[in-house]
A and B are shown apart, each in its own frame.
Chain A
Amino acid sequence: MSCFRLENVSYRYDKSPVLHGVDLRLEPGEILGLFGHNGAGKTTSIKLILGLMTPTRGKVSVLGGEAGDPHVSQHIGYLPENVMFYPQLTGREILNHFARLKGVPLKQVPELLEQVGLGDAMNARVKTYSKGMRQRLGLAQALLGKPKLLMLDEPTVGLDPVATADLYRLLRKLRDEGTGIVLCSHVLPGVEPYIDRAAILTDGAVKAVGDLASLRRQTNMPVTLSLEAANGIPALEKAIVAASADNGLMIRSANGRLQVDVRPPEKMALIQALLDSGEVQDLGIHQPTLEDVYVHFIGSGGLAHRGGAQ
């Protein structure tokens, strides 16, 4: 049973298309990163999965049922972007309220608050909370009742580095226990090590989806080799030119090392040839990061292009 499945989903608002032809799915025990510029359709996709809206066309199924069905919502945890709570209540009162709505035993509440690091602050009013503390309370709220599908919109906003690391460790643990997790974030380097698959949305359509390796293959972006010369730079440069057989590689020098860009299919052959030449003392390989891949797919259309409303 998939956590959710969007099949050829389109959504229009006031006749202007927000999503068109989106196919996306999430299996249990998987972390999916959902990326895109502002207005690309991330929030709309999430709202469709939550059953807050119905698609104009296409099919949305969630946890084997229909989006928005109470029996389905029971098993979904959601942390909205910029989560807000009743300021006059304490953290514990708020979590009790939401636990009752979800039909979750109240004894979970102090445990969860402890788990997100609000154990000492649970009896203070939320209006005294910092941004990071509100975010933690939001997380505790999303984790109520051990959801099978967890959707987190910018979960690390306001969290310090230690809390962020704790959060990702927690998500990994939940993933290993079979929870399907959707992670929306603009902090790409932060989420890169933790996601199993990434989906990149632009202008309401899925531009690319897959694990990082397959996305890299799709982009065909060059891998950068960082080389330290064994017998002086000119000799190394000569070896590279010889090995690359006039493939038009870009060679730069930085800090006494040479940087060489190579297309993925030619990478292994070049490395082999360089090692055989004996001119290389040290070798570093830099794969394109998630951010590089993202920029490749989104295109650098400039800020104006990405300024659409959420």
Chain B
Amino acid sequence: MNSIWTIARKELSDSLRNRWLIAIALVFAVLALGIAWFGAAASGQVGYASTPATIASLASLGIFLIPLIALLLAYDAIVGEEEGGTLLLLMTYPLSRGQLLFGKFLGHGLTLAFATLIGFGVAGVAIAVLVDNVAIGTLAAAMFRFIVSTILLGWGFIALAYMISVRVSEKPVAAGLALGIWFFFVLIFDLMLLGTLVASEGKLNPELLPWLLMLNPTDIYRLLNIVAFGDGAQLSGVLSLGADLPIGANGLWFALVLWFVIPLAGAWALFRRRRI
């Protein structure tokens, strides 16, 4: 446990030193405040639209940004140590591969969690203080849900980045593959799903279709943040499938947790087989 914390603490202090943590927090805060303030721009005025609309916009933005930041943060976790020449040395210390990997995850995970908490937390407080007539209870609950799900989504992509990082031997390759993962889950997956729906001409089992959304953590994340308001009208595109899901919010939370646990276990299994 001590070794895991030693590795995690180095990652944390690295992300403080190179200003990653503060930069991510700043980006989140500015975006959240921007969306809150110009949320009603579509209807021709400047001002706070509504809490559900704001959260929906934030979540739509989040699915682009969070995976990208998480992948960037984590893609060189192991391959970077190897290229830097320190992996060999670390492995001669009383430190198992699992401890190194979980230590990295703890460090990167906490970095992302703190940045999210600070960035969106500040935005939430600013909205609560500056906007008149906002229902504080609804806002707090929605913000809490949004922040926690954002952190879980980020952890998922950190774990996915590790699966790459433990497998390849060059940093540029890891970076390329990480971008590929982003491209697949954020841009391609929904298109593929839509294409499958159209091409199958209704022959696919309609009970199976909503479950396909579970194969993409970004879809789970969006569902979680939008469905929570009990307002199916906000669901557009393939997400409307999610209205038919029989698992409810708890099931979605569970799925999002699985989405970081399974890739992390996979990365561990792959790392144990790696030759050093």
Contact = CB atoms under 8 A, between A and B. Distances in A.
Interface in A182-228: none
Given A85-B86, A101-B3, A52 B94 contact: no
B92 interface: yes
A80 interface: yes
A84 B85 contact: yes
A50 interface: yes
Given A84-B86, A86-B84, A86-B86, A98 B93 contact: yes
B88 A80 contact: yes
Contacts, number: 57
A50 B92 contact: yes
B94 A101 contact: yes
Nearest to B90: A101
Contact of B85 (A76, A82, A102, A141): A82
B240 interface: no
Interface string B1-25: 0110011001000100110000000
Contacts of B92: 50-52, 73, 76, 78
Interface in B27-78: none
Interface string B118-152: 00000000000000000000000000000000000
Interface of A: 50-53, 70-71, 73-74, 76, 78, 80, 82-88, 97-98, 100-103, 141
Q: Which of A51, A87, A98 has the most CB of B within 10 A?
A: A98
Interface size range on B against A? 20 to 34
Interface in B66-115: 84-86, 88-96
A87 B18 CA distance: 12
A118 B94 CA distance: 26
A162 B135 CA distance: 74
Nearest to A78: B92
Contacts of B85: 80, 82-85
B198 interface: no
B276 interface: yes
Contacts of B91: 50, 52
A47 to B, nearest CB: 8
A196 B88 CA distance: 28
Given A52-B276, A102-B93, A102-B94, 6 more contacts: A50-B92, A53-B275, A70-B95, A70-B96, A78-B92, A80-B89
Contacts of A73: 92-95
A71 B94 CA distance: 7
